Amino acid sequence: DAKTTQPNSMESNEEEPVHLPCNHSTISGTDYIHWYRQLPSQGPEYVIHGLTSNVNNRMASLAIAEDRKSSTLILHRATLRDAAVYYCIFQTGANNLFFGTGTRLTVIP
């Protein structure tokens, strides 16, 4: 299995940045790192993905370590709507994603 390791839970104050870490030591050189999040009672939502260099989009930034064995999802200003379970996954080319347990992010008003 294409396994990743994430902390079970994290907390952040509203309007502050959040750094969600992920370890993926078994990733191969061509696997992309994908992040999804799942809000209560909804399907997972795509957040961002990258291969080697750091990536930004309107939702978040993704910082990938030089050896690619870890990455960090950065939410620049957490809002209450960002409270969700965040999953770090690496895409091996088959669409059978292995989700793991993810990180439950709590945003404190």
| Separate counts of helices (H) and strands (E) for the chain | 0, 9
Tell the smallest beta-carbon distance from residue 15 to another protein (Å): 28
| Token output for 38 | 């799942």
Q: How far apart are CA 31 and CA 64, in angstroms?
A: 12
| Alpha-helical segments (H) within 1-109 | none
44: contact with another protein by CB under 8 A: yes
Contacts of another protein in 20-39 (CB under 8 A):
30-32, 34, 36
7: contact with another protein by CB under 8 A: no
CB closer to another protein, 51 vs 108: 51
- Cα 3 from chain centroid? 13
Question: Residues interacting with another protein, by CB under 8 A?
Answer: 30-32, 34, 36, 42-46, 49, 51, 87, 91-101
